Chain A
Amino acid sequence: MTLPVLVGNRSFLALLFGVLLALPAFANQYTLFVGNLMLLYIILALGLNILVGFAGLLAFANAAIYGIGAYGTALLQVHLGWSFWAAAPVGAVLAMLIGTLLAFPALRLSGIFLALATLAFAQATQWVLWHWQSVTFGAGGFRVPPPDFGWIPVKQDYGIYFVSWAVTLGLLLFTWRIMRSRIGRAFVAMRDGEIAAQSLGIDLLTYKAMAFALSSFYAGVAGALYSGLLGFVSPEAFDLFQMIIQKAMIVVGGLGSVVGSVLGAALLVYVMEVLREFKSTQEIVFGALLIAFMVFQPHGLVVFMKRWLPGWEEPLHLAGGVQSTAPGHDTSVAGATSKEHASAERT
């Protein structure tokens, strides 16, 4: 009876976040940094999965929006002398507002065309970061003053880590609840059939804008935390490879799965760190992982989790294990259903 509870998605999350919470007690500075990156990528993957996995909008702007959050937060501190605590929320909201505008092209474009339009947006953002030197300091990047953690009763070094932990856990819970609600259902409906969704009264503009707003807000929050973590911001951290990393995380973890986002992010941050010594291999491995999963297991690792772990259950993601089959393919089940259906009709 207790087995399903012990080996399920909830226990996985509890274990992961428990270990991450305890990490500062025994880890060295490098491991703590990796743990912090893991938290940031969990936020990024959750946000991107809302957009791509749940709402079905194939957009490639998340890395750029992540950059806008980081630059917004950092530049407000550097140019206007704001504190991190004032600049971070504004940076995140700025990223959200800019990201929400992408819903307008998404109304007209779908699939590969939306991907190209958002890719163009990302490249334009890169161009601005590189060339608007008076504001962004150009290609070399710039240093950001460290956030002040005087108000939190922890060692200064651990400040950003614990803030990241709490924010990530909060956003995870938020995502889980939103995706289970009518809003999550509207996203999935839009993904699985726009016209059918519309004919059930779902307004495409509202929900596309909401998907972009949510994912951009997550990316903005991650960007703000990133600037606080690293104390340094430069354009190359938000380039196309950054986008590939994030995309690989949700594909490997599981498109349209909240826990899959966490799983993919945690796993691939680990892979990324293992490969850090061989810098050029990172790109090859991430690209290969992305392709391999898209070809062989497009629903990601959560499929295996669901198959092997009895307690792994997620709402709104029932298609994962049982790939949709052509009508009539599944004759045995369909036959059984007909009989049951007929008997239900009789009574």
Chain B
Amino acid sequence: MSILAVDAVSISFGGVRALDAVSATFGAGEIVGIIGPNGAGKTTLLNVICGINRPDTGNIRLQDRVITGMKPNRIAGMGLARTFQTSQLFAGMSILENMMTGLHLRSGTSLYGAALQTKRMRAEEAELAARARDALDFVGFGGFADRPGNVLSFGQRRIVEIARTLISDPKIVLLDEPAVGLSVNRVEELDSLLRRIRDEKGVTLVMIEHVIRLVMGVSDRVVVLNSGQKIADGRPEEIRNNPTVIEAYLGKQIDAARSAS
């Protein structure tokens, strides 16, 4: 069953066709890798899905509801979360407060409740904090709850950001190059974290990634973009052997990986 469906989406920026009639579906509990050379339109695709850019033509459906043109915060409220290429931890907050901000839509304290410190408000704050700690424990950063985000390395921040998106129990999470800045060991950890997210939480993951070893290892399916067009969509081993993909992009890296193993 598909959670998210992108249907013939096109968008141009000043004459450059960033996406050209791209269609794809994403099923429940699936990890889908999106690969392609620089400028292929991968990040644009995520931006269009999550509402930052509005497509010129085409439609996007999240659980059979059309979300094309909705504001990002509304789409987030419908169960779609994302991370970004650069670290987007809020610098002015502790890691715990960052996580609690991820629960914004799962909390309802009003000005009135906050001002009067109502019993309900205090109970809600305590619950948010507890859930935030659980989510940090899930990714192994429980010990850093009360520290500012800048004590973490760049790669670690990205992991905390993944936890921040998971905390609101999304149906689907879009990850923009989660392995950037991670050492080889860290990439292995990320690999197992992504599997745990899929298996334990049943979340669909859509991931742009340049670390081919990670994408091919963890993805159930891989979508390949080139110059704004989808040129392949299939299981990792099909993608590996797809002549169009090899020609457009992967050739050398795949050969190198083969000869290395």
Contact = CB atoms under 8 A, between A and B. Distances in A.
Contacts, number: 145
B90 A204 contact: no
Interface in B127-164: 128, 140-144, 147-148, 150-154, 156-157, 164
Contacts of B142: 344
Contact of B91 (A319, A337, A340): A319
B100 interface: yes
B181 A193 contact: no
A317 interface: yes
A341 interface: yes
A240 interface: no
Contacts of B97: 185, 188, 315-316
B151 A198 contact: no
B90 A328 contact: no
Interface residues of A, number: 46
Which of A210, A330, A344 is the most central at the interface, judged by chain B CB atoms within 10 Å of its CB?
A344
Given A182-B109, A183-B114, A198-B71, A193 B88 contact: yes
Contacts of B93: 185, 188-189, 192, 316, 318
A191 interface: yes
A157 B145 CA distance: 51
Which of A198, A200, A202, A204 is the most central at the interface, judged by chain B CB atoms within 10 Å of its CB?
A200
Interface string A323-346: 011011010011001101110110
Contacts of B144: 337
Contact of A256 (B92, B104, B154): B92
B105 interface: yes
A186 interface: yes
B111 interface: yes
Given A189-B101, A319-B92, A181 B125 contact: yes
A150 interface: no
A209 to B, nearest CB: 12
B143 A182 contact: no
Interface string A298-333: 000000000000000001111100101101101001
B217 to A, nearest CB: 18
A199 interface: yes
Nearest to A333: B151
A201 interface: yes
Pick the 4 closest A-B CB pairs, nearest first.
Answer: A327-B154, A181-B114, A196-B88, A201-B105
Interface of B: 50, 52, 71-73, 76-77, 81-82, 84, 87-88, 90-94, 97, 100-105, 107, 109, 111, 113-115, 117, 121, 125, 128, 140-144, 147-148, 150-154, 156-157, 164-165, 168, 181, 185, 189
